């Protein structure tokens, strides 16, 4: 967008999530960002990887192919198409809010990105190699296209910034080599959104001392235990690899296994590839990282992968409920959490000893863009399905930062 063509009333935030092969975006009114609203323009460019088939998917219209000529960069072409979309929608952009996975122990809230901030954030790339490099490349690309606009980083780790000291600590000595080594937690923008929606829709969520287990289940998966809306424990730790089994990530493994692989001659790069890209649903099934594909398969390996995913979920849920000392609310989100009724039923059955009782019909209906309560009338624990909107939270955080002079 040409700065000279920008209308004077700059009242909108563009929230983006740049990945290795995709670019998700949503346009929000500053005054309403963070309230229960949808972006008034949203969509996703995918297939942006080399050799891919780039396309644009908008929420309110048919897909379109993205034309990328020989030697052209697909991400740059996506940005040009996005510029045209925004020009057609005639928005007045005030800032671009970027989802950034890892803020380390340095950033506990949104920050305007300059060269110094960018250099600090690049240091955390090894802690989230599937996300952080692409998030930051996106920040730089948008800054080149819209140099007049603030580029604001909003962090998945920020929601967990005040984790209790014991939750942050590993049983390791305090030596210089381990400076900054602690549990951080991730999926914070999603958990922040769930927190807000539950507080608006559930009377129980508004009560002091409410114990909630939030499950963000997708290609990346984690659990978060909250007390009165505050994160007190989470399944992901130092990196976005810890905890639950995921699409291609292993989740928790015995560190002795890593020592064994090193002794067998594996390099750090080979181990990273194994744990981040070749494990999880894809590694166990040998078929796919997509739960929908595995559900549709009759292969025994696919069923084994589903069973292991569900078992690890129940096992980790039990640990976090123990930390809370009980459970009042269980909430599902993410691609699997929002759409896989069978998995939700499996976890709820495994937690029936806690007084969780599912409304089977409501659970079957809970697919789509609507928040659903799916607990049975007599359930001691409320159960919700909450379609997440991380962009809304990022936009709200960016708008608040600007209002405060950031």
Instruction: Could you list the residues known to form a binding site for substrate, using ranges.
Output: 99
Residue for token pair 């920008």: 6
Residue 232 near residue 244, CB atoms below 8 Å: no
H helices of 240-340, in order, are 255-263, 268-277, 280-285, 291-295, 300-324, 334-339
Residues 279 and 379: their CA atoms lie apart, in Å, by 36
Residue 391 near residue 12, CB atoms below 8 Å: no
Residues 5 and 320: their CA atoms lie apart, in Å, by 52
Residues 222 and 273: their CA atoms lie apart, in Å, by 20
Residues 87 and 95: their CA atoms lie apart, in Å, by 15
Angle between helices 255-263 and 268-277 (to 10 degrees): 140
Burial of 175 (C-beta count, 10 Å sphere; 0-12/13-18/19+): exposed
Q: Between the CA of residue 335 and those of 57, 61, 396, what are the distances in Å?
A: 17, 21, 23
- Spatial neighbors of 329 by CB under 8 A, at least 6 apart, are 198, 202, 204, 205, 210, 211, 212, 213, 381, 382, 383, 384
Give the annotated binding-site residues for Mg(2+): 17, 390
CB atoms within 10 A of CB 254: 8
Tokens of 290: 């997509």
H helices of 60-101, in order, are 74-89
Which residues are known catalytic residues? 156
What phi and psi, each to the nearest 5 degrees, are found at residue 18?
A: -90, 125
Residue 243 near residue 253, CB atoms below 8 Å: no
The H or E element that residue 62 is part of is none
Give the annotated binding-site residues: 17, 24, 99, 216-220, 290-292, 335-339, 390
Residues 334 and 214: their CA atoms lie apart, in Å, by 11
Tokens of 363: 């659970």
């Amino acid at each position: 967008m040409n700065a000279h063509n920008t209308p004077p009333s700059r009242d909108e935030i563009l929230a983006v999530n740049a990945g290795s092969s995709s670019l998700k975006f949503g346009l929000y009114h500053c005054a309403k960002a963070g309230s229960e609203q949808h972006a008034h323009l949203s969509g996703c460019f995918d297939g942006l990887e080399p050799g891919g088939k780039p396309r644009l998917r908008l929420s309110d219209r048919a897909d379109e192919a993205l034309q990328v000529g020989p030697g052209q960069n697909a991400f740059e072409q996506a940005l040009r198409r996005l510029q045209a979309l925004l020009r057609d929608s005639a928005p007045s952009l005030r800032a671009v809010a970027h989802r950034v996975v890892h803020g380390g122990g340095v950033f506990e809230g949104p920050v305007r990105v300059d060269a110094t901030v960018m250099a600090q954030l690049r240091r955390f790339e090894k802690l989230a190699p599937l996300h952080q490099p692409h998030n930051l490349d996106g920040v730089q690309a948008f800054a080149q296209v819209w140099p007049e606009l603030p580029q604001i980083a909003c962090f998945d780790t920020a929601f967990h910034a005040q984790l209790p000291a014991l939750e942050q600590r590993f049983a390791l000595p305090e030596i210089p080599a381990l400076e900054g080594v602690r549990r951080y937690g991730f999926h914070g923008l999603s958990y922040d959104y769930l927190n807000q929606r539950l507080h608006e829709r559930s009377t129980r969520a508004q009560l002091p001392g409410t114990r909630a287990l939030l499950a963000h289940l997708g290609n990346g998966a984690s659990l978060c235990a909250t007390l009165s809306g505050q994160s007190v424990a989470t399944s992901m730790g130092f990196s976005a690899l810890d905890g639950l089994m995921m699409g291609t990530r292993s989740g928790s493994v015995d560190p002795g296994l890593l020592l064994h692989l090193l002794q067998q001659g594996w390099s750090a790069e080979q181990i990273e590839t194994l744990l981040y890209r070749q494990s999880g649903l894809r590694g166990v099934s040998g078929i796919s990282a997509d739960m929908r594909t595995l559900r549709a398969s009759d292969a025994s390996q696919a069923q084994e992968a589903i069973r292991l995913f569900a078992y690890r979920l129940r096992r980790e849920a039990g640990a976090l409920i123990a930390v809370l000392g009980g459970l009042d609310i269980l909430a599902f989100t993410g691609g699997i959490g929002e759409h896989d009724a069978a998995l939700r039923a499996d976890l709820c059955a495994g937690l029936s000893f806690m007084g969780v009782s599912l409304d089977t019909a409501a659970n079957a209906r809970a697919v789509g863009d609507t928040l659903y309560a799916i607990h049975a009338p007599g359930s001691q624990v409320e159960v919700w399905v909450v379609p997440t909107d991380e962009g809304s939270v990022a936009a709200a955080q960016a708008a608040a930062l600007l209002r405060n002079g950031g």
